[in-house]
Amino acid sequence: MELTKREKRKLRLEKLREESKEAQEEHEQKLEHQQQAQEQHSKGSKSKYYIIVSIIGIIILAVSAYSVYSLKKPGPYDNFAKCISEKGAVMYGAMDWCKYTQGQKGMFGKSFKFINYHEFDELPGIKKTPTWVINGAWHENVQSFEKLAALTGCKL
């Protein structure tokens, strides 16, 4: 039995509709798959972001804790510096520009806060910095801890 032109056209149209419908369903499945992949990637990106932010937060917290610990930890020469000041020793210097004054301060480290320090222009007649005034005697230039101990009677 031979099909008429009209029936052939109708069959072709049905076949094309089916192919079109299959192609559309396949396209929709691909889109859905892409959306799922994007959602998973987005979730992965968010979790990576939270992990990175958490790690940075922990690092900042650790650095802050160490800084506080270091600031509160006593300096190695605290007792020596306190003793020198109690014995009346005064250091005169020029902290802003004199590398020798800065070096003397560096020798004491954190313990320098206990040294009785004044700027050199507070005592007329100072020609060199730093100058230590101990028991009325002037000692110019950087002084070793041993000499400061000998001059003040303080133990290192």
| pLDDT at position 16 over 80 | yes
Model confidence over 22-77: pLDDT tens digits?
999 999 999 999 988 888 777 767 788 889 999 999 999 999 999 888 878 888 99
Neighbours of 51 (CB within 10 A): 10
- Residues with Cβ within 8 Å of residue 140, at least 6 apart in sequence: 127, 128, 130, 131
* DSSP conformational letter for 137: E
**Interatomic CA distance for residues 16 and 52, integer angstroms:** 53
CA 128 – CA 111 distance, rounded (Å): 23
57 sits in which H/E element: helix 5-72
CATH superfamily to which 78-152 belongs: Glutaredoxin (3.40.30.10)
Phi then psi dihedrals of residue 130, to 5 deg: -80, 155
Average pLDDT, the chain: 92
99: region left, alpha or beta (phi > 0 left; psi from -120 to 50 alpha): alpha
Q: What is the pLDDT of residue 1?
A: 67
